[in-house]
């Protein structure tokens, strides 16, 4: 069985562990074998901690772990290289930190480890932030569906590791789409939860309201499983809180189907490729067959893109001020430009950005009075060539900045609502396409339940993990 375990869903492997059909050590060895077999072509997990994972596996007492209903029972996970794992390198994709080894795991990983997760390696990231996973320390991550294409970013390593069957669960984080874009590009599921659901480490500003941590997996059920293990209050994160709904996993299937949802190709503010429009429209036709009313009414997203650029610049400037002063020559030029946006922001721009968010909230509240969910594409484009640093135009329209091509995700960031990226189809060239489903604030249980229902109707999830031995 161990040779085929990589094909199983995380929830299935946890059940095997629970029933003592396999041991934590066997599961870790299975993951190691798969990583060594396929990652040479993908570079999803450049930093390995196999010895640490094997040691932890031997220490796990399954009978003791079963007393904790949240426990993953020693299931190996990939940890994004923006998160700290004790005794393992965290580089942030930057040569400034190429030898950085944290003493302790951060709040996000500590919560998962507390609930039975076993980190097996660090997944690759862009340098500090971005939508394409490449850096000067660990190289470029390739898309398992086509090695010439990008895996997206910044959680590109996590998404590619999942799609290629190297791990069953992986951490991601999301500022402007860093979790949702790679989920779409790799045909897997990624959840951007509401602020505070998953605790954040001290790398983040403690009261920032844009950047969240979230689970990534091959199916919705596994995302719910990981969210159970990773959510909760931490003293390191003053905004974090305990889940009031008990179990996200047990909430699946417990809600009625929505009566009315809205669909938009572009949220009225971004260009989207024609093929992406068509594929995402097909998913809406499937929803219509369930007697769910489809509306074209959407909240007012006017001004959100400019406001996001302002707030993102302030965040990066606050986080990286000292680094830029002391290591300017070792930071990617695009990141420097983004930091300097924060330096140059005027009081008027900050006021405007906050007023836009206030107006957006009012619009969201009105929207949810007679809508249950908002659906739109997870990306405006299909995965692009991995040798390109970023996209310069979409559907014939020139991009103003190097992050404009994932504006459709950071527009939803500004709502503070939970958003899940769900695979919905493939382009003519065989590359995955995803949809974003936005739910009501702090209603992850309802969002996951609907996403699980829709996942079954779309019939895409069984396309991963990929059998790369056939390539």
Cβ partners under 8 Å of residue 377, min gap 6: 184, 265, 266, 272, 276, 277, 280, 408, 433, 434, 435, 436
Burial 178-206 (b: 16+ CB within 10 A, else e): bbbbbbbbbbbbbbbbbbbbbbbbebbee
Cβ partners under 8 Å of residue 303, min gap 6: 352, 356, 359
Q: How far is CA 160 from CA 8, 39, 136, 137, 422, in A?
A: 16, 9, 19, 18, 15
Give the pair of three-digit tokens for residue 45: 């997990």
| 213-239 per-position pLDDT tens digit | 999 999 999 999 999 999 999 999 999
| 136-159 per-position pLDDT tens digit | 999 999 999 999 999 999 999 999
Q: Give the pLDDT score at 397.
A: 85
d(CA 397, CA 233): 44
The yes-or-no verdict on residue 401 having pLDDT over 90 is no
The phi, psi pair for 235, rounded to 5°, reads -65, -20
Neighbours of 86 (CB within 10 A): 16
Q: Give the pLDDT score at 389.
A: 82
| 20-49 per-position pLDDT tens digit | 999 999 999 999 999 999 999 999 999 999
Average pLDDT, the chain: 95
Closest by Cα among 219, 211, 178, 212 to 422: 219
CA dihedral of residues 330, 334, 337, 338 (deg, nearest 10): -110
Q: Give the pLDDT score at 245.
A: 80
Tell me the pLDDT band of 246, cut-offs 50, 70 and 90. confident
Q: Give the pLDDT score at 282.
A: 95
For residue 80, with 0-12 CB atoms within 10 Å meaning exposed, 13-18 middle and 19 or more buried, which class applies? buried
Percent composition of the chain: helix, strand, coil (DSSP 3-state, to 5):
40, 15, 45
What predicted TM-score, i.e. pTM, was given to this entire model?
A: 0.97
d(CA 387, CA 350): 36
β-pair partners for 191:
420
Q: How far is CA 447 from CA 134, 230, 235, 440, 444, in A?
A: 32, 17, 27, 8, 5
Tell me the pLDDT band of 470, cut-offs 50, 70 and 90. low
Please state whether beta strands 212-217 and 432-438 pair in parallel, antiparallel, or not at all (unpaired): unpaired
Q: Give the pLDDT score at 1.
A: 63
Q: Give the pLDDT score at 402.
A: 64
The yes-or-no verdict on residue 177 having pLDDT over 80 is yes
Stronger pLDDT, 389 or 192, i.e. the higher one: 192
Q: How far is CA 467 from CA 81, 144, 394, 405, 411, in A?
A: 25, 10, 32, 30, 35
Give the pair of three-digit tokens for residue 445: 């249980």
Cβ distance 263 to 376 under 8 Å? yes
d(CA 415, CA 50): 39
> What stretches of 324-441 adopt beta strand conformation (E)?
373-377, 393-394, 397-398, 419-426, 432-438
Give the pair of three-digit tokens for residue 443: 């209603």
Q: Give the pLDDT score at 38.
A: 97
Q: Give the pLDDT score at 471.
A: 60
The yes-or-no verdict on residue 202 having pLDDT over 90 is no
DSSP state of 152: -
| CATH class assigned to 2-470 | alpha beta
d(CA 317, CA 186): 31
Neighbours of 368 (CB within 10 A): 18
Report CA 164 to chain centroid distance, whole Å. Answer: 16
Q: Give the pLDDT score at 307.
A: 96
Q: How far is CA 85 from CA 106, 120, 462, in A?
A: 7, 10, 31
Indicate the helix (H) or strand (E) that contains 121: strand 118-123
| 358-367 per-position pLDDT tens digit | 999 999 999 9
Cβ distance 459 to 422 under 8 Å? no
């Amino acid at each position: 069985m161990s040779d085929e375990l990589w094909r199983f869903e995380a929830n299935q492997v946890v059940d095997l562990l629970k029933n003592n059909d396999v041991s934590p050590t066997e599961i870790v060895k299975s993951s190691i074998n798969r990583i060594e077999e396929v990652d040479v072509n993908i570079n999803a997990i450049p930093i390995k901690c196999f010895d640490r994972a094997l040691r932890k596996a031997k220490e796990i007492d399954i009978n003791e772990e079963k007393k904790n209903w949240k426990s993953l029972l020693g299931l190996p996970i990939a940890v994004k290289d923006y998160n700290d794992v004790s005794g393992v390198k965290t580089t942030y994709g930057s040569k400034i930190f190429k030898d950085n080894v944290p003493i302790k795991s951060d709040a996000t990983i500590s919560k998962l480890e507390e609930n039975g997760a076993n980190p097996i390696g660090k997944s690759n990231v862009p340098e500090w932030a971005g939508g394409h996973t490449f850096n000067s320390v660990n190289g470029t991550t390739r898309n398992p569906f086509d090695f010439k294409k990008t895996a997206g970013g910044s959680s590109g390593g996590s998404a590619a590791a999942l799609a290629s069957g190297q791990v069953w669960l992986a951490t991601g984080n999301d500022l402007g789409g860093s979790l949702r874009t790679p989920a779409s590009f790799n045909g897997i599921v990624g959840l951007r939860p509401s602020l505070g659901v998953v605790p954040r480490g001290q790398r983040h500003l403690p009261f920032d309201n844009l950047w969240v941590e979230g689970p990534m997996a091959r199916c919705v059920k596994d995302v719910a499983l990981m969210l159970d293990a990773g959510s909760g209050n931490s003293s390191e994160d003053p905004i974090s809180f305990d889940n009031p709904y008990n179990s996200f996993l047990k909430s699946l299937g417990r809600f009625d189907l929505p009566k009315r949802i809205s669909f938009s190709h572009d949220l009225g503010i971004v260009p989207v490729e024609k093929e992406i429009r068509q594929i995402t429209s097909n998913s809406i036709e499937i929803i219509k067959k369930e007697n769910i009313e489809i509306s074209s009414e959407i909240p007012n997203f006017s001004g959100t893109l400019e406001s996001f650029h302002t707030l993102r610049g302030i965040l990066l400037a606050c986080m990286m001020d000292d680094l830029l002063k002391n290591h300017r020559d070792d930071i990617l030029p695009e990141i420097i430009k983004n930091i300097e946006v924060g330096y140059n922001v005027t009081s008027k721009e900050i006021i405007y950005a906050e007023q836009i968010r206030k107006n957006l909230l009012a619009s969201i509240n009105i929207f949810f009075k007679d809508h249950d969910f908002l659906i739109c594409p997870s990306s405006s484009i299909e995965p692009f060539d991995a040798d390109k640093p970023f996209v310069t135009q979409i559907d014939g329209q020139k991009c103003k900045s190097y992050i404009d091509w994932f504006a459709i995700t950071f527009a939803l960031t500004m709502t503070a609502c939970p958003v899940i990226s769900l695979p919905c189809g493939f382009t003519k060239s065989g590359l995955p396409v995803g949809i974003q489903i936005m739910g009501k604030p702090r209603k992850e249980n309802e969002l996951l339940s609907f996403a699980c229902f829709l996942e079954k109707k779309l019939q895409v999830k069984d396309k991963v993990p990929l059998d790369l031995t056939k390539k």
